[in-house]
């Protein structure tokens, strides 16, 4: 026997059920009132009794529906809370507010689970890119969307933001993953040799061309070509690259036979190409051909919550067990990083050479410590006490000042502040309670 089932939304079923109960109750009450009124009897008590019965029946039906719908949700929330892995994804203040009602509690857990799954998915799909901030997860979302297509991609961002890593991730998640990936740094190759590197040359095409050379574009046939620092490409070379984008063919330097290629282009730059077009330093038609899908990489100072993760990742490659002191982590997190991730990597590598067990502020370069002092970051944590005050009071004031400073820098988000201070979030929560710190006022 064929099983015939219809899937109807709960948004329709539940209102229909209660609307049906209301309709049947109205009809039945009218009939009861009519019946007893025609016989000259008082219908009020019978209608009241019927209403009480309907109320009990409606309550039972509502209870059954609630248990069927909310029961699995309640079990999921209880099991999730028992695991204890979501504690770090919400501040204690938000947890306290959520505990006031069940819906707030459920909403909080679902938000935490969504955030956790997003972080795990980002780490699983992009193991080579360290970053779990919202800004980077937005970039990961763009990578996933464009990778499966053959669209040309233009990646823009400051120096050291990881443009080549993003390009490799796009290639690895594309249908060309098993084909060649060729990276060409347009700024590192002299202008006179760039065309030969891209297109190759025939024997005798120029002085010292004693044999035929296959170019990078021909070698990358079927795969992906990454044109790094495309803004530094000479105008005459831009015209030839434009032809490859439009017609999927080119000639070697000194050659006359067209060579067909199937290539996906990804370009990257740290320059403002639109302004270069206005100044006639970059071809407008090439810019339009490259800017099919644009990815803007955030600078490191816009995703400072990733700094502890990046530091941990860099330390794992140093060959010795090292940690970072809370003071040093505060300095690293407050620095603007004009060289972005690449600069941070160099700083950690240098500090790891100097440190024995723990990286201290003294192991950091002078520009970082100088900016920390000039910004007045330590002024709020300085203790201005008299000689009559005890050591415990001074330590309490120092601890309170450091926590307020960390919370202020993190916008009142205790998860980030705990990372900045190098302590557990639960420990920070207890200290906030003990020191009577008003987190809400810091957020506002």
If one compares 127 and 265, the residue with the highest pLDDT of the two is: 265
% the chain with pLDDT above 70: 82
Does 227 share its domain with 372?
no
**What is the structure's pLDDT at 10?**
63
> Averaging pLDDT over each range in 3-12, 203-212, 326-335, which range is the top one?
326-335
Helices 340-354 + 326-334 axis angle, to 10: 150
End-to-end Cα separation, the chain, in angstroms: 64
pLDDT digits (tens, 9 = 90+) for 379-394: 444 444 444 556 676 7
Q: Does 375 lie in the same domain as 245?
A: no
CATH number, domain of 307, equals: 1.10.8.60
pLDDT at position 82: 66
Task: Report d(CA 281, CA 269) in Å as an integer.
Answer: 14
> Confidence class of residue 204 from pLDDT cuts 50, 70 and 90?
confident
The H or E element containing residue 46 is: helix 44-83
Question: Helix (H, G, I), strand (E, B), or coil: what is residue 218?
Answer: helix
- pLDDT tens for each residue of 38-51: 777 777 777 888 88
At 293-322, the pLDDT tens digits run 999 999 998 888 889 889 998 998 887 788
- C-alpha of 363 from chain center: 30
Quick one: pLDDT at residue 314?
Answer: 92
CA 391, CA 389: separation in Å to the nearest integer? 7
Supply the pLDDT for residue 98.
45
In a shared domain, residues 349 and 401 = yes
Domain annotation covers residue 26: yes
Confidence of residue 287 (pLDDT cuts 50, 70, 90): very high
- Do 256 and 279 share a domain, yes or no? yes
Q: Which domain holds residue 433?
A: 302-443
**Which residue is it, tokens 């049947």?**
24
Instruction: Answer yes or no: do 159 and 274 share one domain.
Output: yes
Residue 346 CA, distance from chain mean position? 24
pLDDT at 102: 67
- Mind listing the pLDDT tens digit for each residue in 249-283? 998 888 878 999 999 999 999 999 999 999 999 99
**pLDDT band for position 83 (cuts 50, 70, 90):** low
Query: Are 138 and 74 members of one domain?
Result: no
Q: Which pLDDT score, from 0 to 100, does residue 280 have?
A: 92
Q: Are 319 and 418 in the same domain? A: yes
Query: Residues 327, 376: one domain?
Result: yes
| Range 93-107 average pLDDT | 58
Query: Which tens digits make up the pLDDT trace of 318-337?
Result: 877 888 988 898 889 888 89
Measured CA to CA, the distance from residue 402 to residue 398 in angstroms comes to 6
Same domain as 239, residue 270:
yes
pLDDT for position 377:
47
Closest listed residue to residue 159, CA positions, set 232, 214, 249: 232
Reported confidence tier of residue 117, pLDDT bands at 50, 70, 90: low
Q: Is the pLDDT of residue 114 over 50?
A: yes
pLDDT at 378: 45
Number of domains the chain is built from:
4
Residue 232: inside a domain, yes or no?
Answer: yes
In this predicted structure, the answer to whether residue 4 has a pLDDT above a threshold of 80 is no
Q: What is the pLDDT of residue 381?
A: 43
């Amino acid at each position: 026997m064929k099983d015939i089932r219809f899937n109807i939304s709960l948004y329709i079923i539940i209102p229909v059920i209660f609307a049906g109960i209301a309709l049947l109750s109205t009809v039945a009450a009218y009939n009861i009132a009519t019946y007893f009124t025609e016989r000259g009897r008082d219908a009020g008590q019978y209608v009241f009794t019927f209403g009480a019965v309907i109320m009990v029946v409606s309550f039972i039906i509502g209870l059954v529906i609630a248990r069927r719908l909310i029961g699995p949700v309640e079990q999921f929330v209880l099991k999730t809370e028992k695991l204890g892995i979501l504690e770090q994804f919400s501040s204690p203040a938000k947890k306290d507010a959520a505990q006031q009602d069940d819906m707030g509690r459920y909403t909080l857990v679902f938000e935490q689970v969504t955030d956790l799954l997003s972080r795990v998915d980002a780490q699983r799909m992009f193991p080579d890119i360290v970053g779990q901030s919202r800004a980077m997860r937005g970039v990961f979302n763009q990578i996933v969307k464009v990778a499966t297509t053959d669209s040309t991609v233009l990646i823009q961002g400051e120096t050291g933001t990881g443009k080549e890593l993003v390009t490799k991730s796009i290639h690895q998640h594309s249908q060309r993953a098993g084909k060649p990936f060729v990276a060409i740094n347009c700024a590192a190759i002299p202008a006179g040799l760039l065309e030969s590197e891209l297109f190759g040359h025939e024997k005798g095409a120029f002085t010292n061309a004693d044999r035929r050379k296959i170019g990078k574009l021909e070698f990358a046939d079927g795969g992906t070509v990454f044109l790094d620092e495309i803004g530094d490409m000479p105008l005459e070379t831009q015209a030839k690259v434009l032809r490859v984008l439009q017609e999927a063919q080119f000639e070697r330097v000194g050659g006359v036979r067209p060579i067909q290629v199937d290539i996906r282009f990804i370009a990257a730059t740290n320059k403002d190409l639109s302004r270069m077009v206005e100044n006639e330093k970059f071809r407008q038609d090439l810019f339009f051909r490259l800017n099919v899908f644009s990815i803007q990489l955030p600078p490191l100072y816009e995703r400072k919550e990733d700094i502890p993760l990046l530091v941990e990742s860099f330390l794992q490659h140093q060959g010795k067990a090292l940690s970072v002191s809370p003071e040093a982590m505060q300095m690293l997190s407050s620095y603007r990083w004009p060289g972005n991730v690449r600069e941070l990597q160099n700083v950690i590598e240098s500090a790891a050479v100097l440190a024995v067990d723990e990286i201290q502020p003294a192991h950091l370069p002078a520009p970082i410590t100088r900016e920390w002092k000039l910004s007045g970051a330590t002024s709020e944590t300085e203790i201005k006490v008299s000689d009559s005050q005890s050591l415990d009071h001074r330590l309490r004031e120092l601890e309170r000042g450091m926590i307020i400073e960390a919370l202020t820098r993190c916008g009142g988000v205790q998860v980030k502040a705990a990372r900045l201070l190098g302590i557990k979030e639960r420990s920070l929560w207890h200290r906030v309670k003990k020191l009577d710190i008003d987190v809400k006022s810091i957020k506002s």
